[in-house]
Chains A and B, each alone.
Chain A
Amino acid sequence: MSEGTIVAAAEIGTSKVAVLIGHVSEAGRLGIIGHGLCSSRGVRKGAIYDLRAVLDCLQSAIELAETRASVSVENLFLAQSGSHLQGQFIEGIANVRNANGIVQQEDVERACSDAKGKMPPNDRIWVVHIRNPFRIDERVVEEPIGEQGSRLSAGYWSVSGERKIISDQIRLLNGIAIEVEDLILASTASAEAVLQTSEKRSGCIVLDVGGGSTDYVFYKDGFIVRAGVIPVGGDHITNDLSVGLRINSRWAENLKKEHGCALARTEDKERKVWAHGDHSIGDRECYLQSVHAIIEARVRELFEIVRKEWVSVLGDSKPGSGVVLTGGTSRLSGIEELAAKVFATHVRIGTPPNGVEKAIAGVEYSTCIGLLMYASRNDTIAGGGPRPVAATGLLRKLTGLFKS
């Protein structure tokens, strides 16, 4: 492993902690050389509530990955999710200085830094600035340099997170002698893993339905115009089943996996299924129809919320490339059909690209693999040519984080 660089990424999810180690060759090709998985403790609805439990999981996942890859990890990219994240649109303005009104590199930089210089809301720090198209005098341009105009504006969908939550995670990793290279939004990482460039261009919705939360990204014309988190995931389905059918959550989880379906079908009204199936004490039969009705209500609501968000950003337009579902809960049968109904568009299940080891090839690992892809790309960019403003990483984001 003499040539190229090592990149590592970690995702602390509600149901699992995943750590991946990749090798990026000099030609920029990414290969995954180690993975460590550990079922998660101390995380609920995408947010960490027990740091110590999370640390244990994280440590064992890192060790596993390190052993498999035969390298030791010193820094990694960390995925961010959870309802504490909030996005807002920010815009930086620069007047074009050149007398002939041709936009120069320097104008672009001023517009960008003007936008990023804006302070996040109180007690929050920026996690990521996702660039939206530049506009010159309200005209959308793809590449501003060389265009003519008087006013250049740079727009960003900027996501901020609670200062305390993020600093806790960084401290946690620092405590085990690991530096956090950068924070990456889980939703954009998943999108990175499952989308084709053409889909980003024609516009699409990526929904990563995980255990405790759902991360979504809206693409339009190749740009992410909105990224967000809804703290509802597969655990909510389990809980709904448990409450609705009055069975314990272990059985509800089993019922969801064995017999779950996101569409309540009307046939077979009388069909019953065993809650647990092993005929253990207290096991009982439930109406399959009830199971489906409970799940459909939940998943439909989740999709409706996402659709509402889409409408608030992009109006009645439809995403050209439809909806791509990923994350563990996208394994739920019937979820594609339900999404197609709600969004009235084409839906597919997005799996990570081929060539990934079988253990991590499933929809559950989209975020983590995307994270690595993101990280490797960042790294190659950093390797050659001037490092763009967006890649200066964690240091800038964290300015002032540890003050006082």
Chain B
Amino acid sequence: MMESAIDSESPASKSVKPAYRIRVCGLGGAGGNVVQTLHSAQLEGFETVVVNTDAKALEMIEGAESVWLGRKITRGFGTGGVLASGERIAAQERTTFDGLVEGVDCLISITGMGGGTGTAFADALASAAVRADILHLAFVFHPFSFEGAERASIAEEASGRLRGKVHGLVIIPNDLILQAGGEQVSAMEAFDEANRWIVRALRALGLMIFKPGLMRQDLASLAATLSERGGRVLFGLGEGRGDDPVKAALKSLEQCPFLDLDNDRALDQLLIQVTGGPSMGMAAVQRLIASLRERLTCRESIRFGASIDADAADAIQVCLLGKMEIGNAKPVPVLDSRDTAMLFPGGKGDDDAQVSVVAHATKLQKRKAAKKPSAAIEQEEFDFISDNSVQRGLFEKSERNFYGDEDLDVPTFMRKGVRIRIL
């Protein structure tokens, strides 16, 4: 699949370009659903695998390799949300997980946390990726509040553990996905909506990595942005069209359910990828990036990528990936506008032209290398509580406020599933 994508667009580079292997692993039921959606969205370039204990769920998977685990323990059924049995299977199948990451350059895992299968497998797969020392970006869904406090706490705890093992962990709270949908959306559609977000995320990453001419640099930039394992990741997507696509894209980015722009902590690394149709002007890109720079502080380096997608028509898409190491260095101002202008020396005319430049904000690039890893680990625990910060807002740092098994600090409309229209 990937080969053909490359061939059609840059036949000349075929012989010199190594083929990157990027594997997307859907773990458990929810993960499998997403991978299935990827297939129907005809996303190219990724190897897709679904790992599950539930044979029935695996049967429905099309267009992806499926790996059936734990047949002796669950006899082909799901784990029924029992984490212990998922963990037992994961422990027995260690070599299988090692096999899943073998020879892969970048692993993207997708898991619905809080149940038995996905929760356990995510951890096992992350451990395998650590052993193989490959780049690992993990997307996890956190359960709806109405699924109960227990599931939520299992998910939170598991994500906290996972964070230390992966290069980037993107948490997608299902509650927020539900909010983002329109009125009168069914449960099925809400889950579909969640899946669509992942598809969009992967499409954005795919565009960045697989588009011709910049392959090596772009997977490398992804790796450099995510740098070490652990730390926090800021990930967001926005899309705008119409009269003022830049404004619309920024607005949509602001409302991306897993992006917390209000967190005023400085980022250490930032990657901004802008994709637009052939008519996208460089002035628009510059404006977009300038506005983003106003909102985000980045200490070390910012990477910009801009690509033209013939199918995008008049839409502009922006994908933001930031990394925060844990630790408190002083923020350093990023590029001034002069530098941005330099980055985009006049757009190229042809449809598939790409401009991608790595820009270094300061000379502080090496500073991070000197950072003590032990400090990062110590801070991990503190940071873990704020996983839910999107939901607790002002009360993020205060004690939980339980009434029965509901945390009253979490907005009522979320816990009750009241739909709010924001756009």
Contacts and interface: CB of A to CB of B under 8 A. Distances in A.
B395 A45 contact: yes
Contacts of B281: none
Main secondary structure of the interface of A (DSSP, over half): helix
A294 B420 contact: yes
B393 interface: yes
A301 B412 contact: yes
Given A242-B393, A290-B422, A297-B418, A49 B413 contact: no
B254 A49 contact: no
Given A231-B408, A240-B412, A245 B395 contact: no
Contacts of A236: 395, 408-409, 411
B92 to A, nearest CB: 42
B262 interface: yes
Contact of B413 (A230, A240, A242, A286): A240
Given A231-B401, A243-B390, A244-B179, A293 B418 contact: yes
Contacts of A231: 401, 408
Contacts of B262: 248
A245 B393 CA distance: 12
A226 to B, nearest CB: 16
Interface in A248-289: 248-249, 284, 286-287, 289
Interface in B161-214: 179
A235 interface: yes
A298 B254 contact: no
A83 to B, nearest CB: 7
A301 B413 CA distance: 10
A239 interface: yes
Contact of A246 (B409, B414, B416, B422): B422
Interface string B392-412: 111100100101000011011
A83 B416 CA distance: 23
Given A239-B395, A243-B390, A297 B403 contact: no
A248 B398 CA distance: 18
B391 A286 contact: no
A249 B421 contact: no
B391 A246 contact: no
Interface string A287-306: 10110011001101100010
A6 interface: no
B422 A235 contact: no
B416 A243 contact: no
Contacts of B411: 236, 239-240, 243-244, 294, 297-298
A232 B420 contact: no
A293 B401 contact: no
Given A297-B416, A301-B412, A289 B393 contact: no
B413 A294 contact: yes
B393 A243 contact: yes
B179 A242 contact: no
A83 B409 CA distance: 13
A188 interface: no
A336 to B, nearest CB: 19
A240 B394 CA distance: 9
Given A244-B179, A297-B412, A298-B412, A289 B398 contact: no
Contacts of A44: 395, 398
Q: Which of B391, B392, B398 has the most CB of A within 10 A?
A: B398
Given A232-B401, A297-B416, A287 B408 contact: no
Given A240-B411, A240-B412, A242-B394, A287 B401 contact: no
B255 interface: yes
A42 to B, nearest CB: 12
Q: Which of A232, A240, A243 counts the most chain B CB atoms within 10 A?
A: A243
7 contacts: A83-B401, A232-B401, A238-B394, A243-B393, A244-B420, A245-B420, A287-B421
